[in-house]
Chain A
Amino acid sequence: MRDVAIIAFAQLPSVRRDVTREEVELVQPVVAAALAQAHLRREDVGFTVSGSCDYLLGRPFSFVMALDAVAPWPPIHESHVEMDGAWALWEAWVRLQAGDIDTALIYAYGKSSLGDLPEVLVQQLDPYVVAPLGADAVGLAALQARALIDAGRVTERGLAELAAARRRQAADNPCAQRRAPRSADELLAEPYQVAPLRAHACPPISDGACAVVLAAGDTARRLVSSPAWIRGIDHRIEPHQLGMRDLTASPSTRLAAERAGALGGRFDLAELHAPFAHQEVILRDALGLDDGVAINPSGGALSANPMMVAGLARLGEAATRLMTGQGRRAVAHATSGPCLQHNLVCVLERDV
Chain B
Amino acid sequence: MDTDVLSAPYVLEYTYQRSTGPVIGRFLTALRDARLEGVRTSAGKVLVPPLEYDPETGEATGDPVEVGQSGTVTTWSWVHAPRRFHPLDRPFAWALVKLDGADTAMLHAVDAGTPTVMATGMRVTARWRAERTGSIRDLECFVPAGGASR
Contact = CB atoms under 8 A, between A and B. Distances in A.
Interface string B85-106: 1110000001111100000111
B136 A139 contact: no
B117 interface: no
A39 B49 CA distance: 53
Interface stretch (B62-70, B76-84, B124-132): B76-84
B74 to A, nearest CB: 7
Given A58-B10, A129-B27, A150-B75, A143 B80 contact: no
Contacts of B75: 143-144, 146-147, 150, 247
Contact of A197 (B51, B77, B120, B136): B77
A241 B104 contact: yes
Nearest to A238: B55
Interface string A179-209: 0000000000001101111000000000000
Interface residues of A, number: 41
B124 to A, nearest CB: 14
A169 B59 CA distance: 47
A237 to B, nearest CB: 10
Given A130-B107, A150-B75, A192-B80, A55 B24 contact: no
Given A140-B94, A146-B120, A242-B96, A133 B107 contact: yes
Contacts of A239: 51, 55
Given A132-B137, A139-B79, A142-B77, A150 B120 contact: yes
Contacts of A129: 24, 27, 49, 106-107, 136
A196 B75 CA distance: 11
**Which are the 6 A-B pairs with shortest beta-carbon distances?**
A142-B77, A243-B105, A134-B85, A239-B55, A195-B78, A147-B75
A120 interface: yes
A68 interface: no
Interface residues on B, range: 35 or more
Contacts of A334: none
Given A115-B10, A136-B83, A140-B107, 17 more contacts: A128-B24, A133-B107, A134-B83, A143-B77, A143-B94, A143-B107, A144-B75, A145-B77, A146-B76, A147-B75, A194-B77, A197-B77, A239-B51, A241-B47, A241-B51, A241-B106, A244-B47
Nearest to A120: B12
B5 interface: yes
A122 interface: yes
B143 interface: no
Contact of A192 (B2, B78, B104, B120): B78
A19 interface: yes
B112 interface: no
Contacts of A133: 86-87, 107-109, 136-137
